[in-house]
């Protein structure tokens, strides 16, 4: 751990060390994996710079229906390797096609070569793109001396063309665009750009990746201004311009149309035929509004009379990446021109996922020095069974990152990962809440109180949540990972689980989880299920903080999940582990005991037009009451359990009336409750119905009693 802290703290690159902390047992399998990883890392280090490759596809944007990619390649082996192989080298040149979204290999084609003293190989390889793939990554890889090196890669876009049926227009604009990066040194007028201006610009495919070295005209030379290649990520800011032409189908100009751009880091403005149709994060003068918009979906209505019917149109996009640093660029789609009906159908797609809601918060207003209340937006994901089950669910509060907002996890597709994990049985279904905050809230002070004192009661009152700390947990990345740890460990009455992805613990100050781990008892810390991970190439060195927390918990013999793996400070690091860590966390949190249902009983009696319902709990229910262990943060040490009781009238399979759930607070002295319902409220419809009494015990719906209504 100490050695790892030093390596991460010094930001030693991935080629220099293989420090990881991985769950496993000290057995032959673990040793074999470790040896293989070390061999691969050393091989990559020795081969770095020894191979060079060039990949030249005939086209990177395939026409609709076209599936074959033809590519020329060139491979050069450096003198350093050839000096050790005077009789030549045997290698295999591979062309690999990978899914743009998942990275999974789709197809490959390889050619063996025997290199002589010249050390060069050239040729052409064809590869087929499978049906149904819209975007893929084409990579040139070389297998040499037992190792495989990727030398070059380019994105491939499979065009869907234009479709116009009645008032349904769908025009795919992904594929080849002309691009010019000017950084902060030059500003162009996107509204005046013509094909003559951009015809000599490099061709790129937007919406597939952020700005990197080799994207269009981007290089160390025109980004870092002499500071050197190591500063690339810090200086890749300013302007990048994208432009192209497209032909509008005859009869489409009169439609109500929407231009979908997708996602741009950090902000953009868009012109069609020289007219500015909209912007994200920019005012009318093209200046930053100061809002965080890198995760905001950019789409704009096209004003009437702008498009040229049946003719050639132009579209230009100015992307602006803010200081101080960041990947920058137009990094995700969808990119296309759609009629209103087609756009709404595309957005709906019939797919469940996050939806946005809001509530009024006094604490958010206080954080912004505003009197009264302020609107706080949040995303909510409901389980697929929510509308039919009638039961309650665990709740996850997912906190966003620094200089970000609540929409970032929707951009990352976390909602789909959670739905997939539940379908696969990796973890149980849950309600997920992603609240917004200020870009630099650090989830402390007023923002913590917004979550604990306002948002949780709001959500518990609106949705069927299990109102028990044992069924509520937090998670987040970076600032959100620190916030998740700080809020959970400081509020044991509300939470019992926490997940932190590369958490910024060193920015937590009083909420730094290392402080709670050092000061609180092992009994208290063990009441939480804690999982936290970090990359050994994290640019902020947050792995050192994670190691510190891990050591504190180990010294107190507190079970937790912790690992450090190869990777940096980005979504691409945490997403591959997301479902597994969710599964571990939910698997180690409290689970309801079916035997507890036998401790609840109920009766329904009728006196004239009034129904009386009574719930009684056996004294043994006391074993299921909960109170967090004593600590500096525990607010209510009294053991308790909330059991909602609900009375329903059901007739012919339909619910005529459902009484609002009445919260029964069970304590050591209170083990029962009563409720009543006036049948006259249901009128004649009550005749022939059945009265049913339910209790909700954690995430289980328990039938207690039922009677027929003559």
pLDDT of residue 330: 94
User: Is the pLDDT higher at 85 or at 340?
Assistant: 340
Percent of the chain residues topping a pLDDT of 70: 94
Task: Provide the pLDDT confidence category of residue 222 given band limits of 50, 70 and 90.
Answer: confident
Burial class, 678, CB count within 10 angstroms (exposed 0-12 / middle 13-18 / buried 19+): exposed
pLDDT of residue 10: 65
Is the preceding peptide bond at 225 cis, omega within 30 degrees of 0? Answer: no
Q: Is 419 helix (H, G, I), strand (E, B) or coil?
A: helix
Work out the pLDDT band at 494, boundaries 50, 70, 90: very high
Q: What is the pLDDT confidence band of residue 608, given thresholds at 50, 70 and 90?
A: confident
pLDDT tier at 381 (50, 70, 90 boundaries)?
very high
Cα angle value 100/102/108 (rounded, 5°): 65
Lowest mean pLDDT segment, chosen from 7-16, 208-217, 290-299, 501-510: 7-16
DSSP label of 211 = -
Cα 672 from Cα 602, distance rounded (Å): 9
Q: What is the pLDDT of residue 117?
A: 63
Residues in the chain: 710
Whole-angstrom distance, CA of residue 373 vs CA of residue 605: 46
Predicted confidence at residue 662, as pLDDT, reads 67
- As a three-state string, the secondary structure of 176-229 is CEEEEEEECCCCCCHHHCCHHHHCCCCEECCCCCCCCCCCCCCCHHHHCCCCCH
* Dist CA 237 CA 127 (whole Å): 36
Q: What's this model's pTM, rounded to 2 decimal places? A: 0.81
Given a contact cutoff of 8 angstroms between Cβ atoms, the answer to whether 541 and 8 are in contact is yes
Sheet strands side by side (includes 431-435): 355-361, 374-381, 431-435, 395-399, 472-477, 497-501, 529-535, 561-565
- Cβ-in-10-Å burial (0-12, 13-18, 19+) of 451 comes to buried
* Best CA proximity match to 650, nearest among 642, 659, 641: 659
The answer to whether the beta carbons of residues 583 and 529 sit under 8 Å apart is no
Decide if pLDDT at 425 tops 60. Answer: yes
Per-residue model confidence as pLDDT tens digits over 344-363: 877 655 567 899 999 999 99
Query: Which pLDDT band, with edges at 50, 70 and 90, does 291 fall under?
Result: confident
Q: How confident is the model at residue 281 (pLDDT cuts 50, 70, 90)?
A: very high
Instruction: Report which DSSP code applies to 288.
Output: B
Would strands 147-158 and 61-62 be described as parallel, antiparallel, or unpaired?
A: parallel
Per cent of the chain over pLDDT 90 is 53
**pLDDT over threshold 70, residue 12:** no
Grade residue 574 by pLDDT with cuts at 50, 70 and 90. Answer: very high
Q: What is the mean pLDDT of residues 468-485?
A: 97
Q: What is the C-alpha to C-alpha distance for residues 443 and 400, in angstroms, rounded to an integer?
A: 9
Mean pLDDT, residues 528-552 taken together: 93
pLDDT at 505: 96
Of 96-110, 205-219, 438-452, 608-622, the range with the highest mean pLDDT is: 438-452
pLDDT-based confidence at 118, cuts 50/70/90? Answer: low
| pLDDT for res 27 | 92
Strands 395-399 and 431-435: parallel
Query: Residue 677 has what pLDDT?
Result: 67
pLDDT at 661: 59
- Please tell me which residue, 102 or 195, carries the higher pLDDT value: 195
| Mean predicted confidence (pLDDT) in 215-224 | 84
Find which of 44-53, 106-115, 389-398, 671-680 is predicted with most confidence, using mean pLDDT: 389-398
Determine the pLDDT at residue 48.
73
pLDDT at 345: 78
Residue (of 514, 462, 450, 516) closest to 489 by Cα position: 516
Q: How confident is the model at residue 391 (pLDDT cuts 50, 70, 90)?
A: very high
Mean pLDDT value across the chain: 88
Contact between 268 and 282 (Cβ < 8 Å): yes
Burial of 302 from C-beta contacts in 10 A (0-12 / 13-18 / 19+): buried
* pLDDT tens digits along 294-327: 888 899 999 999 999 999 999 999 999 987 766 7
Lowest mean pLDDT among 4-8, 13-17, 417-421, 587-591: 13-17
- Top pLDDT among 667 and 592 is at 592
Predicted confidence band at 253 (pLDDT cuts at 50, 70, 90)? Answer: very high
Average pLDDT over residues 557-576: 92
Higher pLDDT, 22 or 97: 97
């Amino acid at each position: 751990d100490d050695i790892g802290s030093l390596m991460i703290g010094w930001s030693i690159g991935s080629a220099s060390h293989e420090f990881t902390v991985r769950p496993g047992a000290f057995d032959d399998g673990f040793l074999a994996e470790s040896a293989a990883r070390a061999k691969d890392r050393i091989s990559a280090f020795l081969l770095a710079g020894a191979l060079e490759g060039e990949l030249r596809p005939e086209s990177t944007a395939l026409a609709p229906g076209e599936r074959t990619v033809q590519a020329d390649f060139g491979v050069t082996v450096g003198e350093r390797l050839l000096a050790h192989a005077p009789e030549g080298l045997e290698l295999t040149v591979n062309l690999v096609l990978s899914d743009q979204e998942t990275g999974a290999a789709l197809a490959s084609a390889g050619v063996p070569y025997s290199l002589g003293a010249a050390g060069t190989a050239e040729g052409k390889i064809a590869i087929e793109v499978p049906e149904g793939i819209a975007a893929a990554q084409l990579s040139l890889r070389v297998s040499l001396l037992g190792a495989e090196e990727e030398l070059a890669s380019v994105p491939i876009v499979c065009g869907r063309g234009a479709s116009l049926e009645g008032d349904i227009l769908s025009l795919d604009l992904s594929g080849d665009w002309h691009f010019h990066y000017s950084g902060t040194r030059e500003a162009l007028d996107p509204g005046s750009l013509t094909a003559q201006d951009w015809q000599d610009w490099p061709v790129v495919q937007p919406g597939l990746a952020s700005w990197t070295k080799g994207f269009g005209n981007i290089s160390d030379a025109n980004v870092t201004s002499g500071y050197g290649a190591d500063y690339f990520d810090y200086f890749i800011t300013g302007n990048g311009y994208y432009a192209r032409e497209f032909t509008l189908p005859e009869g489409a100009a009169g439609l109500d149309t929407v231009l979908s751009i997708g996602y741009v880091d950090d902000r953009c403005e868009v012109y069609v035929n020289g007219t500015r149709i909209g912007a994200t994060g920019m005012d009318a003068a093209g200046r930053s509004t100061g809002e965080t918009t890198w995760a905001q979906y950019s789409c704009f209505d096209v004003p009437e009379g702008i498009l040229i019917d049946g003719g050639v149109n132009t579209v230009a996009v100015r992307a602006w990446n803010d200081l101080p640093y960041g990947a920058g660029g137009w990094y995700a789609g969808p990119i296309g021109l759609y009629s209103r009906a087609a756009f709404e159908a595309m957005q709906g797609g019939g797919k469940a996922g996050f939806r946005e809601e809001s509530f009024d918060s006094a604490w958010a207003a206080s954080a912004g020095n505003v009197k009264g209340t302020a609107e706080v937006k949040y995303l909510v994901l409901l389980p697929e069974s929510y509308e039919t089950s009638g039961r309650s669910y665990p709740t996850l509060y997912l906190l966003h990152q620094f200089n970000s907002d609540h929409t970032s996890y929707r951009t990352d597709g976390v909602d789909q990962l959670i739905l997939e994990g539940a379908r696969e049985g990796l973890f149980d279904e849950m309600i997920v809440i992603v609240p917004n905050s200020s870009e630099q809230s650090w989830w402390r002070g007023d923002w913590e109180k917004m979550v604990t004192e306002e948002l949780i009661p709001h959500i518990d009152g609106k949705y069927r949540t299990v109102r028990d700390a044992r069924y509520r947990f937090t998670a987040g990345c970076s600032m959100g990972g620190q916030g998740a740890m700080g809020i959970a460990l400081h509020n044991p009455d509300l939470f019992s689980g926490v997940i932190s992805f590369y958490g910024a613990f060193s920015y937590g100050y009083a909420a730094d989880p290392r402080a709670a781990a050092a000061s609180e008892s092992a009994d208290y810390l063990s009441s939480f299920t804690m999982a936290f991970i970090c990359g050994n190439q994290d640019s902020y060195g947050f792995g050192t903080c994670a190691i510190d927390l891990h050591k504190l918990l180990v010294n107190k013999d507190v079970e937790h999940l912790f690992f450090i793996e190869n990777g940096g400070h980005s979504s691409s690091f945490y997403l591959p582990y997301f479902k597994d860590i969710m599964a571990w966390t939910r698997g180690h949190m409290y689970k309801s005991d079916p035997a507890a249902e036998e401790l609840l009983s109920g009766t329904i009696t009728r006196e004239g037009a009034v129904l009386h319902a009574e719930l009684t709990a056996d004294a043994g229910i006391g074993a299921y009451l909960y109170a967090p262990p004593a600590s500096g943060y525990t607010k209510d040490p009294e053991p308790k359990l909330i059991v909602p009781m609900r009375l329903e009238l059901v007739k012919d399979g339909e619910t005529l009336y459902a009484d609002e759930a009445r919260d029964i607070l069970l304590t050591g002295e209170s083990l029962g409750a009563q409720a009543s319902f006036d049948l006259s409220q249901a009128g004649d419809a009550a005749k022939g119905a059945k009265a049913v009494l339910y209790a909700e015990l954690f995430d289980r719906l328990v039938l207690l009693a039922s009677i027929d209504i003559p």
